[in-house]
Amino acid sequence: MTASVAACGSSNSASTTAAAADTTAAAKTETTAAAGETTAAAAENKKIDKLSIAYVPSREPQEIIQATEPLKELLTKEMAGLGYDIGSVDISVGTSFDAVGQALVAGTTDIGVIPGSTYVLYDDGADVILTATRKGLSNDSDSAKDWNDNKPTEATDKEVTSYRALMIAGPSETGRALAAKVNNSEELTWDDINGANWSIMSSTSPAGYVYPSLWLSKNYGHNITELAHAVQSDSYGSAFARLASGQIDVLCTYADARRDYEEKWQSEYAMTNSIWDDTDVIGVTPAIYNDTISVSKNSKIMDDDFKAALQEAFINIGNSEEGKPVIAIYSHDGYQKAQASDYDSERDAQKMLQEMEASK
Does 18 reside within a domain?
no
DSSP state of 315: H
DSSP E strands, 142-220: 155-160, 162-163, 165-169, 198-200
What is the DSSP secondary-structure string of 239-285? HHHHHHHTS-SEEEEETTHHHHTHHHHHTTS--SS-HHHH-EEEEEP
- For residues 252 and 351, membership in a common domain is answered with no
- For residues 191 and 294, membership in a common domain is answered with no
User: In total, how many domains does the chain have?
Assistant: 2
Average pLDDT estimate for 66-87: 98
Q: Using an 8 Å Cβ cutoff, are 198 and 229 in contact?
A: yes
3-state secondary structure at position 111? strand
- For residues 181 and 227, membership in a common domain is answered with yes
Residue 15 has pLDDT above 70, yes or no: no
Residue 58 has pLDDT above 90, yes or no: no
Helices (H) and strands (E) in the chain — how many of each?
15, 14
DSSP state of 84: E
Does 27 reside within a domain?
no
C-alpha 283, offset from chain centre: 23
Average pLDDT estimate for 96-102: 93
- Cα angle, residue 238 at apex, residues 236 and 240 outer, rounded to 5°: 70
Compute the radius of gyration of the chain from its Cα atoms.
30
Average of per-residue pLDDT values in the chain: 89
- For residues 212 and 196, membership in a common domain is answered with yes
- 38 vs 351, higher pLDDT: 351
The domain spanning residue 79 has which CATH number? 3.40.190.10
Question: What's the pLDDT score for residue 241?
Answer: 97
- For residues 281 and 169, membership in a common domain is answered with yes
- For residues 114 and 59, membership in a common domain is answered with yes
User: Domain range holding 262?
Assistant: 165-285
Question: Which of 285, 300, 329 is a domain's end point?
Answer: 285
- For residues 235 and 210, membership in a common domain is answered with yes
- Number of C-beta neighbours around residue 267 at 10 A: 9
- For residues 113 and 78, membership in a common domain is answered with yes
Question: What's the pLDDT score for residue 16?
Answer: 44
Average pLDDT estimate for 138-155: 97
- For residues 186 and 98, membership in a common domain is answered with no
Does 150 reside within a domain?
no
What is the DSSP secondary-structure string of 203-225? TT-IIIIIHHHHHHHHHHS--GG
**pLDDT-based confidence at 43, cuts 50/70/90?**
low
Question: Which of 237, 262, 285 is a domain's end point?
Answer: 285
Q: Which of 147, 154, 97 is nearest to 126 (CA)?
A: 97
Residue 35 has pLDDT above 80, yes or no: no
Question: What's the pLDDT score for residue 20?
Answer: 45
- For residues 279 and 303, membership in a common domain is answered with no
**pLDDT-based confidence at 334, cuts 50/70/90?**
very high
DSSP state of 290: -
- For residues 217 and 272, membership in a common domain is answered with yes
Question: What's the pLDDT score for residue 22?
Answer: 52
**pLDDT-based confidence at 28, cuts 50/70/90?**
very low
Does 38 reside within a domain?
no
C-alpha 83, offset from chain centre: 26
Does 36 reside within a domain?
no
Average pLDDT estimate for 335-355: 93
- For residues 130 and 176, membership in a common domain is answered with no
**pLDDT-based confidence at 5, cuts 50/70/90?**
very low
Q: Which of 75, 250, 256, 64 is nearest to 153 (CA)?
A: 256
Q: Which of 161, 71, 55 is nearest to 118 (CA)?
A: 55
- pTM value? 0.77
How far is it, in rounded angstroms, from Cα 219 to Cα 283? 10
Does 8 reside within a domain?
no
**pLDDT-based confidence at 18, cuts 50/70/90?**
very low
Does 158 reside within a domain?
no
pLDDT digits (tens, 9 = 90+) for 196-211: 999 999 887 899 999 9
pLDDT digits (tens, 9 = 90+) for 172-184: 999 999 999 999 9
**pLDDT-based confidence at 72, cuts 50/70/90?**
very high
